[in-house]
Structure 1
Amino acid sequence: MVFFVCEGCNESLKKSQVDSHASRCSSCHSVTCVDCNITFPGDTYRSHTSCVSEAERYERTVYRGVKKGDERKSGKKIKLNPQEIWNNLIMEASERKSDAPSSIHSHLDTLTSCSNVPRKEKQFRNFASNSLRLRSNDVSVGLVWDFLSKLREEKNEVKAKEKEDKEREEEERKKETEEKQQKEKEQKETKEDKEDNESKDSLEKNSVAPLSKKRKATDSVSPSTVSPLNSPSKKCSTKILKGLLKKERSIRVSDLKKGAVVVLLEKGYDVSASWWREGFGEVLEGKKFKVVEGEVSLT
């Protein structure tokens, strides 16, 4: 139960008494909570329903702090037990007594001074016959219980709606995350496919497969347009063949010859018939190359 002290006249007040006191006390501009000593100007005190625990209030210097798992330690919203929630509901009912029948206004104010009001109807009627000095079958008891039950149902509906909204927001957030991950995955796959295609196109462009086309292109080159230096040496021929074979795992002998001719002509070498018969075959018989069933590969 929260109590306040008027900053104008120092009178102790229950929360339900603050409004009526402020209407007759001209110097009541703010009130201070007895438990936590926080001052609330105007009507901001309404949002203050609980602060320090009973252990903090009464143990004081011997208080050893909150137990493990208590949310007060981390500064988060304090989790109230069912009885504290019910007491806060009674406090709110007293503040909203204008919505209730006028015959039970005083009973609602009386309940705010009790901290052990039962939460079930049968026990509540027994409690009312003692604390409110009413018979358990009195109409006023039923009206008080109905008003409290109505407020509790409203609270439960609001809480259920908030929970539903939270779950929906969580589901939407999860869906957005999954869609984002899927989009990123598709973009990554598209990028990899593009890189693979570019790599494949580059290999096809530089491969020996189109060497026959290159050879045909050189067929139209007349001897007058090329200034041959001399016949290629064995070392030079080996280097050129190795360079062609590095781009492919294996090449047919005929394609390798065509590719070698293209490169040698571009370098200005004289590729004569003797080189075809002797030089090329001698180079392939070296330790650098391996010929199996008409296919040439590096050793």
Structure 2
Amino acid sequence: MIIYSHFIKSISFLKILQKKILYKNKVNYNTLGYNKANKRKYRLPNNNKIYMKNIKLNKNGLQSKNRVNLVRKYPSKKRNNNNFKINALNKKNFNINFTKIKYLLNFTKKITLCSLFIYAINNYFFDMTLTSGSSMHPLIDKNGVILFYICNDALKFFYKLHKIYIDSYIYILQKYNNIIKFMFRLNNIIYFNENISEKITNLKKKKEKSKHIYNRGDVVLLISPVNSNKRVCKRIIAIEKDKIYVDNFYSFIEIPKNNVWIEGDNKNDSFDSRNYGCVHVNLIVGKAFFLLDPFKSFSFINSKKNYQIESSRFLYLSE
């Protein structure tokens, strides 16, 4: 009896073992059902429990390989078409980058301002040019030098500014002197008034001396009266109202208003006013103030040091 019970227990144990462990390989394929993509739901006939299992469709190992090959052999034309469509959508959804536009506008603004500034300086303040020839020797070497000059417009502007400054200064001093004379009548104040009057007279003399933009001895760059396409560098010898001897002192000429008499420093090799007469002030381009000789050195052009008035050539010198 004991042996029989033991045998029954062992059989029941084997059945349980068969149900729990060994039964998973025994599947009834008639109960299999497809569910969505590549998932199969099936039920074991001897058990009420439902198991879910993902089974890949692999018929002789071809389907998975075919999928890989399809991906690898995806036509390049279709890919290009897709890229073209994406680019078209990106163009439609194009967003303007305002920071780049602002940067470009600032850059163009700086370039235009710099170009206008350089243009204004070169045409209205000062400029440089290359001169050559022996007419201004020894000041300018015949091999050529770089000549810096102040433009005519800038000279006129500073001349008018200087004139306004002197006139206003004289006017203020005169008014101040009249007020002191009217308010006070003492010896010390009279002495002070005398100092003011001396200052006024000195300013008036200074004004008379600087009444011309261009003076004797100035080295100027001007348009040639003979050839308008050519610029020449000469020195001013006489200004308006001066009377100067010409033709080896056989005759003299009076310089008319707004005209100058120009000559080269090397008179033996210079084509100047002795050939074509007086020159109008409007032909003057500018006044030279600095020269740069690449082969020697550089120097400032000072009319007082480089030139002395030949009083014997003048019949009359205007103030």
Shorter-chain TM range is: under 0.3
Name whichever structure is richer in strand by fraction.
2
Name whichever structure is richer in helix by fraction.
1
TM-score, length of structure 1 as denominator length: 0.20
Structure whose alpha-carbon radius of gyration is higher:
2
